[in-house]
Amino acid sequence: MALLELTDVARSVRLPDDSVLEILTGVTLSVDAGEHVSIVGRSGTGKSTLLNILGLLDSPTSGEYVLDGTPIGRLSGRARARRRGDDFGFVFQQFNLLPGRTALENVAAPLLYARGRAFWSRSRLAAEMLERVGLGRRLDTMPDKLSGGEQQRVAIARALVRRPRVILADEPTGALDVETGGEVMSLLDDIASESGAALIAITHDLAVAARAQRHYRLADGVLVPITLGTPGQVTEWVGDRPVSGPAPAVTGVRP
């Protein structure tokens, strides 16, 4: 059984002029535990909407979403919020760290909503996760004293401290240089593999997307499987489609 499965999921909104804007159309996606899947597409194609549905931040207009055998549409708002907190870790392009709080306090913040041992052990668990992402000596450092790569590592540690079953990464390297972005994606891959979590990366950077085991393109609200080259190949856009070829000196070309 797949860990999560979307079947014919659509999302639309009604505009002020009473017309309907179709954002997603008949999206079908199945992801197993431990899989790394990437979804690419230009800005405005519905990638963030799809991520919000996957992460239980939004609901589809039609279609079915099944998470670990449970149809999400049958859950109450409170039950959805509990599943979101327990099962999902979010990594965004903007680090969204709490100003005036140390790295340790930022990572421990999600555990304030945990129950039992996780709540009482939150500082230890946060310290262990920061050590795992290479920031064991920066526990008491404020975000504004950290580099961009270090801030993203803190954000990753915060997303993973509750040991989620699904990691949703929305343009996780968008604010980083190519080298640091590669390091961050390697870190996400390693941690997801160790924990058996599914990793779904939504990006328009095809060098990032090529790291995944399976690749999809989202265009005009439709999700279709594609094949990308390895991370050592250059990738670029031709029209609205990605292509790959032999790698020159530069390894990532954005649209």
Written as one string, the DSSP assignment of 121-148 is THHHHHHHHHHHTT-TT-TT--GGGS-H
Q: What is the band of 54 on the pLDDT scale with cuts at 50, 70, 90?
A: very high
Q: Domain containing 81: what range?
A: 4-96+166-245
Domain-embedded: residue 134: no
Contact partners, residue 175, CB within 8 Å, separation at least 6: 93, 94, 95, 148, 152
Query: Quick one: which H or E segment has residue 230?
Result: none
In a domain, 65, yes or no: yes
Q: What pLDDT is stored for residue 98 in this prediction?
A: 92
129-179, pLDDT tens digit by residue?
999 888 999 999 999 999 999 999 999 999 999 889 999 999 888 888 888
pLDDT at 34: 92
What is the percentage of the chain residues whose pLDDT exceeds 90?
A: 57
Evaluate whether residue 146 is within a structural domain.
no
Q: Which of 58, 54, 26 is closest to 39 using CA atoms? A: 54
> Are 91 and 168 spatial neighbours (Cβ–Cβ below 8 Å)?
yes
pLDDT (average), residues 46-70: 94
Tell me if 131 is assigned to some domain.
Answer: no
pLDDT band at 228 (very low <50, low <70, confident <90, very high): confident
**Proportion of the chain above pLDDT 70, given as a percent:** 89
The answer as to whether 71 is a domain residue is yes
Question: How many domains are contained in the chain?
Answer: 1
The verdict on residue 130 lying in a domain is no
User: Where residue 202 sits, what CATH number does that domain have?
Assistant: 3.40.50.300
In whole angstroms, give the CA distance from residue 125 to residue 161: 7
Classify residue 112: in a domain, yes or no. no
Q: How many CB atoms lie within 10 A of CB 137?
A: 9
Length in residues, the chain: 255
For residue 23, the 8-state DSSP code is E
Q: Which of residues 177 and 249 earns the better pLDDT score?
A: 177
Residue type, 251: T
pLDDT of residue 246: 45
pLDDT category at 112 given cuts 50, 70, 90 is: confident
E strand or H helix that includes residue 58: none
202 and 50 Cβ atoms separated by less than 8 Å: yes
Indicate left, alpha or beta for 101 from its phi (over 0: left) and psi (-120 to 50: alpha).
beta
Q: How far apart are CA 127 and CA 136, in angstroms?
A: 7
- Give the separation between CA 71 and CA 149, rounded to whole angstroms: 37
Q: Which is more confidently placed, 150 or 1?
A: 150
- Is residue 106 situated within a structural domain? no
pLDDT at 237: 45
